Chain A
C-alpha cells in the first residue's frame, strides 16, 4: 500500500500488514506519521505525536 507524506508529498510504500496506531516514517523527509485509518486498501495518516516528557519505560 502507498501513502503520501503530509510534509513533503513523497509517496512511499508501507507494509501490507500495517495496522491502525502504527508509526511509519517518510523515507524522504523523515517525518513520523501515525496510521489512523485503513479502509479498502487506503491508508489515512496524521503527524505522529512528538515525544512527551513522560514517554518511555
Chain B
C-alpha cells in the first residue's frame, strides 16, 4: 500500500498547493483535511479511520493548528510539526526561555505582569525597546516603545485587552542592518536562506511587504539554525536571525513556515524537501 500524507489546512495557500502537487507527482496519496470542517471526539476509544501515515499541520490559525495537533497526536498520529514544537515556537516567552537555556544567542528580554513593573523592566532595558505579544505573527502588535510616556500609554491600553496581552514581553531593540535572516530547516538540513529587508523600521515579514533576497548559508548560520531547530524539537522550521556587532542572534523560530518568498528568492525546491521529510517520518 502506498503512503498517504494527511494535509491539515484551513486555507490552501501557494505553499499547501505546491506540497500537494509535489506529493502527487511522487505517487503519494494526499488526504486534504479541512480543519474548519473537522470534528473529533476527544473521548473516543478507537482511532478514527486513517487520515494519513503522517500529518502535515499547515493551519494559518495558530490555536486551531496547535489544538488539532494535540488531538491527532493523542490518537496516535505523527504530526509535523509536533504539538510540543508548535507550543514553544508559537509562544515568544517559551521560545526565549528554551533558546536561552540552550545558550543560543537571543535578544535580551524581560517579562512583567503589570504596567508598573513593565515600566521598571524598561528602566533596566533602556529605550527604545520592543513590546511583543506572546502569541502573534506577521509582526502584528509589535510596538516600539520609544520613551516612558509612550510605554505607559500603550500599557494602559493593554489593560483593556484579553489577559494574554497583560503579560508584558519586552525585548531590547537590537541594532541590526535593515534586514534579518531566515534559514529554512528541514529535519537535520538547512535547505535555504534569505535576507528579509524591512518594510518598516522593525518589521521584515514577507507577508506584510518585506522583500526577500537569497542569503548564503555560511557554516555559522547552518550550525546555529540547526542547533536552534533541534532545541525546539526539530521538524520543518524557519529560524529567524539578526546580524549584530556581537554576532548572530536567533530571535524567532517559526513552525508553520510560509516559503513562497523563499522559493522565489532562492529557487530551492522547498516542497520537495518537505515531502521527502514527511516520507521519512511516515516510514518510521
Contacts and interface: CB of A to CB of B under 8 A. Distances in A.
B258 A57 contact: yes
Contact of B137 (A19, A22, A54): A54
Interface in B98-153: 135-138, 140
A56 B12 contact: no
26 contacts: A19-B12, A19-B20, A20-B12, A20-B32, A20-B34, A21-B10, A21-B11, A21-B12, A21-B16, A22-B17, A23-B12, A23-B13, A34-B11, A48-B11, A53-B140, A54-B61, A54-B62, A54-B137, A55-B61, A55-B62, A56-B60, A56-B140, A56-B205, A56-B258, A57-B254, A57-B256
Given A54-B61, A55-B61, 14 more contacts: A19-B12, A19-B17, A19-B32, A20-B32, A20-B34, A21-B11, A22-B12, A48-B11, A54-B62, A55-B60, A56-B60, A56-B140, A57-B254, A57-B258
B32 A56 contact: no
B193 interface: no
A57 B140 contact: no
A41 interface: no
A49 B138 CA distance: 17
A53 B134 CA distance: 12
B17 A57 contact: no
B interface bracket (residues with beta carbon within 8 Å of A):
20 to 34
Contact of B11 (A23, A53, A54): A23
Contacts of B13: 23
Interface string A27-57: 0000000100000000000001100111111
A57 B135 CA distance: 10
B9 interface: yes
A53 B9 CA distance: 17
A21 B63 CA distance: 19
A-B pairs, 9 with minimum CB distance: A56-B137, A21-B12, A56-B138, A54-B62, A57-B254, A22-B12, A55-B60, A54-B63, A57-B258
A57 B12 contact: no
Contacts of B64: 54
Contacts of A54: 61-64, 135-137
B75 interface: no
B11 A57 contact: no
B139 to A, nearest CB: 9
Contacts of B63: 54
Contacts of A53: 136, 140
A52 B140 CA distance: 11
B32 A55 contact: no
A57 B257 contact: yes
Nearest to B13: A23
B207 interface: yes
